[in-house]
Amino acid sequence: GEDVEQSLFLSVREGDSSVINCTYTDSSSTYLYWYKQEPGAGLQLLTYIFSNMDMKQDQRLTVLLNKKDKHLSLRIADTQTGDSAIYFCAETPYSGGGADGLTFGKGTHLIIQP
Amino acid sequence: EPEVTQTPSHQVTQMGQEVILRCVPISNHLYFYWYRQILGQKVEFLVSFYNNEISEKSEIFDDQFSVERPDGSNFTLKIRSTKLEDSAMYFCASSEGVQFFGPGTRLTVL
């Protein structure tokens, strides 16, 4: 079945850029997502990218997609203490019906050092 | 900004009891979903719902689970005869393409 892999932890200094990586196995992945989860909170949609795109930028966030290597990354520029959270990569084939569930990675804990 | 809401935020129940988790999806969305996240584990897809019927379901979504849209706004997940291993965060999501999640209900089965 489909699988999504992420590193469990990333530690960065405040003000530096954070790069969170994700690999996936499903060749039919159409939507790829990044969600943020703060302690005790729900899943906040950060950004998403369609598989026909290579890059998407939204303020401090840059998503890069390498379809050949099935690799997705999320770069957070000028990382702040408020960015401390778990970041989940997720994918769905979105085969046209919209009813497909997302397959999530285990999440990357982003730790900010002062 | 429209958002998905869920009630209750925390539900404690005894093993063997039935629970109903409630969700109000974003009003113009047509697809609804339930996911669960056991503590420390991945978020797992349970079921999707469209046009008043189940569209897709995972292996986890067995006969003890059911979903319903009892009126024009609510979307519910019923768990019959809860087991200890049903303890988890349950997330509802809705979509018109991109899935937006609610804050979750923490279910604790004692």
Q: What are phi and psi of B86, to 5 degrees?
A: -80, -10
Whole-angstrom Cα distance, residue A28 to residue A97? 14
Q: What is the pLDDT of residue B72?
A: 79
Say whether residue A48 is in contact with chain B using an 8 A CB cutoff: yes
pLDDT band at B2 (very low <50, low <70, confident <90, very high): confident
Facing residues of B94 across strands? B32, B100
Q: What are phi and psi of B52, to 5 degrees?
A: 65, 25
Whole-angstrom Cα distance, residue A91 to residue A30? 7
pLDDT at B44 over 90: yes
Indicate the range of A23-32, A60-69, B56-65, B77-86 predicted with least confidence.
A23-32
What are the pLDDT digits (tens) for A27-72? 777 789 999 999 878 899 999 998 888 999 999 999 999 999 999 9
Facing residues of A14 across strands? none
Q: What is the pLDDT of residue B33?
A: 96
Whole-angstrom Cα distance, residue B53 to residue B73? 15
> How far A48 CA lies from chain B's nearest CA (Å)?
8
Q: Which residue of A has its CA nearest to B104?
A: A42
> Would you tell me which residues 7-26 of chain B have a C-beta closer than 8 angstroms to some C-beta of chain A?
none
Apex CA B83: angle with CA B81 and CA B84, to 5°?
Answer: 155
Say if the Cβ atoms of A33 and B50 lie within 8 Å.
no
Say if the Cβ atoms of B101 and A42 lie within 8 Å.
yes
Torsion of CA B40, A61, B94, A9, to 10 degrees: -10
What are the pLDDT digits (tens) for A78-109? 999 999 999 999 998 765 556 789 999 999 99
Q: What is the pLDDT of residue A29?
A: 74
pLDDT band at B96 (very low <50, low <70, confident <90, very high): confident
